Amino acid sequence: MKPPRWLALSAIALVSVQLAACSPSATSTPTDKPSTPATDGGGSSEPAKPGGNLTVWVMGDSSAHFDQLVDGFEKETGATVETVAIPWDAVDQKFTTAVASGDGPDLIQIGLSKLRTYADSGALMTLDEATVADYPNLAASNFIDGVAGDATAVEGKVVSMPWVSDTRVLFYRTDILEAAGIKEPPATWDQLRADAKTLAARGDGQYGYYIPQWDSALPVAMTWSQGGDIVADDGTINFDTPAFAKAVDVYTGLYADKSVPTNGDFDQTQGFISGAAPMLVSGPYLAASIKDAAPELDGKWNVTTIPAGTQATSLLAGSNLGVWGGTDNKDGALALLNYLSAPETQVQWFEIDGQLPTAKGALEDAKLTADPLVAVYSKQLQDARLLPLVPNWDGETGKAMLDSLNAIVLTGADRDSTLKALFDATAGTPAR
């Protein structure tokens, strides 16, 4: 799955209804350090110090922004933080090797789609109430609903803290839609399909919409928007539902209409900028890419909440941070995690890297609420859900779903038999 990068927020009036104020100091560190030895999977029997050396694995191609972010922590505590950027396509191998050797970082960024796998490895420290009691920014109430505490606990254990949030919204080119006689962005999937067909009629190489063939979240969000779920009441995966069938109708219908590109390497950013694909569902990170790559498009594009079926539920994604169970600097790792979870720090991260915070206090900050795009992201976050915490979602269940859908639309595979195979292959998979 493509690496998400996140960005921006604003008006948060709606979010503020749900988000309680919570603004501990960004630089607050525990007043009473844990007196127990750092033996939670680590090798040291001596109480760790808040400072010392710390290694953090962040996902992506560069650590420069994160280095800038933790500069304040280093100055405050005397700690030395070494940030290691792990390319997204190397994350799994790097983690597997670390688990096998026991030689991991002190703190690690975890994509939510991989949280279950990481948790099952046993490599992450359990962040129960006793462990985080002296770190006020790590209280579950500090974060947006649906991504903290029990929401992301695995087998009843919390092993990570929310770091950045991501939700999917509809990006659309206002200039191109208006030129095609489309005055408003589509509010439903049926409208989107009709508008996409109109836009695709502009000529060869022109499309109305873009479906990332690698994005397993989109068909799931389409299912949610039809009022259904892919998780049955017994907590197992079940794609054999009327809502998923309607989602498949939308997904395959866009291809049948010839409204979407079929080449798997289509670049969504360039496609949006060029106008070849003037509508797509993506995360706030795309806004940053558009602004960076095509500032001349300012005022010619916008975002809105995703189209609805019976509702407009989108994806709640992003990444968390976990403490390596074998760290020999438990106190330092928890202190850094506390620092990174502070609203002030998360606002700074938004300013530096454009990534959406998870701390309620950060989402209410005027620096974010002043951004009109953020208002849309915030509104969408109120109706957003996590993907099921399925073991190896990207490599198994999510992949099986995408393989089936793409086989139908790209190779002409028989719909009924292909979906039946998907249902049989995934039925009974535990969703937590």
Give residue limits of the domains in the chain.
53-167+317-386, 169-315+389-430
Q: What is the DSSP secondary-structure string of 163-221?
A: EEEEE-EEEEEHHHHHHTT--S--SBHHHHHHHHHHHHTT-TT--S-B--TT-THHHHH
Residues 154, 124 contacting (CB under 8 angstroms): no
Q: What is the pLDDT of residue 389?
A: 84
Q: What is the pLDDT of residue 195?
A: 98
Q: 53-167+317-386 with 169-315+389-430: one CATH topology? A: yes
Number of helices (H), then strands (E), in the chain: 19, 10
- Measured in degrees and rounded to the nearest 5, phi and psi for residue 262 equal -100, -15
Alpha helices in 202-342 (DSSP H): 217-225, 242-256, 268-274, 284-293, 330-341
**Domain at 53-167+317-386: CATH architecture:** 3-Layer(aba) Sandwich (3.40)
Tell me how far apart the alpha carbons of residues 105 and 113 are, in angstroms, rounded to a whole number.
20
Instruction: Kindly state the tokens that stand for 96.
Output: 């597997």
Instruction: Report how far apart, in Å, the C-alpha atoms of 362 and of each of 15, 349, 394 are.
Output: 11, 10, 30
Q: What is the pLDDT of residue 217?
A: 93
Residues 123, 325 contacting (CB under 8 angstroms): yes
Q: What is the pLDDT of residue 145?
A: 81
Mean pLDDT per 10-residue run, the chain (432 residues)?
A: 36 33 34 33 42 92 93 95 93 91 94 88 94 96 87 90 94 98 98 98 97 95 96 94 98 98 95 98 90 96 96 92 96 97 95 89 91 90 88 89 98 98 94 75
Q: What is the pLDDT of residue 315?
A: 94
Residues 162, 147 contacting (CB under 8 angstroms): yes
Q: What is the pLDDT of residue 354?
A: 81
Domain 169-315+389-430 has CATH 3.40.50.150: no
Q: What is the pLDDT of residue 280?
A: 98
Q: What is the pLDDT of residue 355?
A: 86
Q: Which of 222, 200, 185 is nearest to 310 (CA)?
A: 222
Who's near 14: CB < 8 A, 6+ residues apart?
A: 375, 378, 379, 382
Q: What is the pLDDT of residue 50?
A: 65
Q: Which single residue is written with the structure tokens 């939510």?
A: 112
